Structure 1
């Protein structure tokens, strides 16, 4: 009976988590627009999002409880992207209109011809969506543009780099990813203070762009956003996810390596004046992907930080071979057991302040003491 109760609790929580992203819509149906936080420069900005149609919640469905969650899950499963919807986006005096693809996604690439204010990093983009036989929808989203004093670009993985998901153990990963509440997920000790130090830089005022890449689908965007806010991890955050592309003909997700490589290429091109550091983990393909990035951009990558999450000797030997191949270049690959080693290297490189290094050491030590 105890096992049955655990499974019942598991299913109930899973249903609640899957239903959560549309709770704020109060059961309304029709056309819905979900934009994701954007990013850019004084030359161009990028904003992604999705336009879809979903059923309204019937009056007979209670406002709370498992029946409401089940109904919302059904609405999520049955909702369909609206193709060829017209998405107008305005930021400052700049505007552009694009259409959605067959799955309802839009990817706006807006050249900036009228300069944006340089005294703020977050800018509001207003969005208006038109679609035949649908009531137009207005919404807005934040877009991050780094200030002129930003001197370093940070690109980081999320899974098993910022928070523990157990990628090597697929079932546990899915449980942590989709079932655990954000405040119960595990952020690696010292991650918040490390990323804050990288964001602020030596001057403590740099406001550097930190861009996050996840192997997860856009469906977990809100959950990751909550996790970052709870754990005080900057910036915002800006999270790049992907559509898994699951269908009857393609039952497995698309390869994450190509997705990550394409995004990093885009970021390095967008912020072409900034050197970059890459942060990932040893459990998947991060070292190999980042190694290829260094070969393509030999003068741009200052360091690769790989969090050791896989104790397989063969995996460590493979990473060591990559590290040896980087000897003589401007980039060093650091395989780190904890956030302190990363912070110490970053401080030695002149990328974070002494205050930032001390904060990382303090947070890791406090975690050790409370876990003892």
Structure 2
């Protein structure tokens, strides 16, 4: 398709298709409410982050899905049904949500897909007595008959205490092997597995916990997860992190599907770079260790972030999952070095941990635990 054809499709065809989609979604929701299929509404908040003067979080208003947590012995069919519910959502557009935090309030509206964004600022500064703070959320509009109060609490991470650095990590093929470079394998593991059956790379849990502790032994170094996976997988991924003892933190995903701006999904690279930059801008006081893999474009994304935010990145670890890209990635590493940032291509978690120990970022005894965990799996 030529550039002019693409421009025509985006300016003429996309608005038509999006208009059809919105009319269908509106009719579907109306029928769902009238027939009682939609009878309970939920606010699904995603973990946010902030600093002493600002907090940021995203959430979504949906029909209550009733998915619940998973178990190790859940069947593939049950896993599939839960995943189906995650993707077949009934989003609630154009309703108001009130956010309340430390005496401040903000009223926001959901967009066509049910998403809302909260950004509360305080010139006086917030009272930070612990890293995780609660934000109260309340739905202000009535959507269904006999609707009870619809409330939720969002968790927002505000770095406090002795924070040495922050960590931004990819998920697919960085924390967990997903076959992101092999579409069929990725779909199979996504739809038929659950948080218990999906296993991280050996040693990842121990390595990430050691980075969270740093050198003072207190898990205060914040983690942020940036992925091109859809928001539909949010609860699944958060449960995965908890089940496998990987430090919890804000998880920045993306919306898939037809929208006002895109036919299916925006650029993988643009999304991840935008989220990394957003973290940099809010967590102004921190330097970051960036962790990704060579399967997609993490090295290129991180290089661009380093160029645009000098001094924000102290180290880059890239898991080598695609051998044919090795030469290309090493060339990016040389370019990063010229900008004053070291990047190493690692075969496994132990290699990254040994390097972090040499840099004085984690304890030697933690490295022994990481090696033991890897040997137990191997």
User: Shorter-normalised TM-score: what interval?
Assistant: 0.7 to 0.9
Q: Output the CA distance in 1 between the equivalents of 2:172 and 2:300.
A: 16
Against the structure 1 CA distance between its residues 358 and 329, is the aligned structure 2 distance closer, same or farther, given a 3 Å change threshold?
farther
Deviation at 1:321, TM superposition (A): 0.8
Q: Report if aligned partners of 1:201, 1:353 keep a CA contact under 8 Å in 2.
A: yes
- Do residues 234 (structure 1) and 242 (structure 2) align? no
Q: Output the CA distance in 2 between the equivalents of 1:182 and 1:79.
A: 20
Partner residue in 2 for 1:146 = 159
| 1:284-304 C-alpha deviation (Å, 9 max, x unpaired) | 000111111111122121111
Against the structure 1 CA distance between its residues 231 and 68, is the aligned structure 2 distance closer, same or farther, given a 3 Å change threshold?
closer
Partner residue in 2 for 1:292 = 304
With 140-149 and 259-268 compared, the bigger mean Cα shift is at 140-149
Query: 1:1-372 residue pairs with structure 2 within 5 A?
Result: 29-53=39-63, 79-113=89-123, 115-134=125-144, 136-205=149-218, 207-235=220-248, 237-246=249-258, 252-312=264-324, 315-368=325-378
Deviation at 1:147, TM superposition (A): 1.2
Q: Report if aligned partners of 1:54, 1:79 keep a CA contact under 8 Å in 2.
A: no
| 1:222-241 C-alpha deviation (Å, 9 max, x unpaired) | 11111111110002x32111
Structure 2: which 5+ runs fail to align?
1-36, 67-74
**Matched residue of 1:284: which SS?**
coil
Q: Output the CA distance in 1 between the equivalents of 2:169 and 2:82.
A: 33
Deviation at 1:78, TM superposition (A): 6.5
**Matched residue of 2:196: which SS?**
helix
Q: Output the CA distance in 1 between the equivalents of 2:300 and 2:259.
A: 28
**Matched residue of 1:158: which SS?**
coil
Structure 1: which 5+ runs fail to align?
1-26, 57-64
Q: Report if aligned partners of 2:76, 2:192 keep a CA contact under 8 Å in 1.
A: no
Q: Report if aligned partners of 1:86, 1:99 keep a CA contact under 8 Å in 2.
A: yes
Against the structure 1 CA distance between its residues 209 and 169, is the aligned structure 2 distance closer, same or farther, given a 3 Å change threshold?
same
Aligned length: 332
Task: Using structure 1 for the length normalisation, give the TM-score.
Answer: 0.81
Deviation at 1:256, TM superposition (A): 1.4
Against the structure 1 CA distance between its residues 334 and 69, is the aligned structure 2 distance closer, same or farther, given a 3 Å change threshold?
closer
Greater relative contact order structure (CA < 8 Å, 6+ sep): 2
Deviation at 1:43, TM superposition (A): 1.3
Greater strand share, structure number: 1
Q: Report if aligned partners of 1:149, 1:206 keep a CA contact under 8 Å in 2.
A: no
Q: Output the CA distance in 2 between the equivalents of 1:268 and 1:54.
A: 34
Against the structure 1 CA distance between its residues 265 and 85, is the aligned structure 2 distance closer, same or farther, given a 3 Å change threshold?
same
Against the structure 1 CA distance between its residues 55 and 348, is the aligned structure 2 distance closer, same or farther, given a 3 Å change threshold?
closer
Against the structure 1 CA distance between its residues 50 and 168, is the aligned structure 2 distance closer, same or farther, given a 3 Å change threshold?
same
Against the structure 1 CA distance between its residues 202 and 367, is the aligned structure 2 distance closer, same or farther, given a 3 Å change threshold?
same
Deviation at 1:67, TM superposition (A): 11
Q: Report if aligned partners of 1:94, 1:113 keep a CA contact under 8 Å in 2.
A: no
Q: Report if aligned partners of 1:278, 1:304 keep a CA contact under 8 Å in 2.
A: yes
With 210-219 and 323-332 compared, the bigger mean Cα shift is at 323-332
Q: Output the CA distance in 2 between the equivalents of 1:154 and 1:66.
A: 34
Deviation at 1:132, TM superposition (A): 4.7
With 79-88 and 219-228 compared, the bigger mean Cα shift is at 79-88
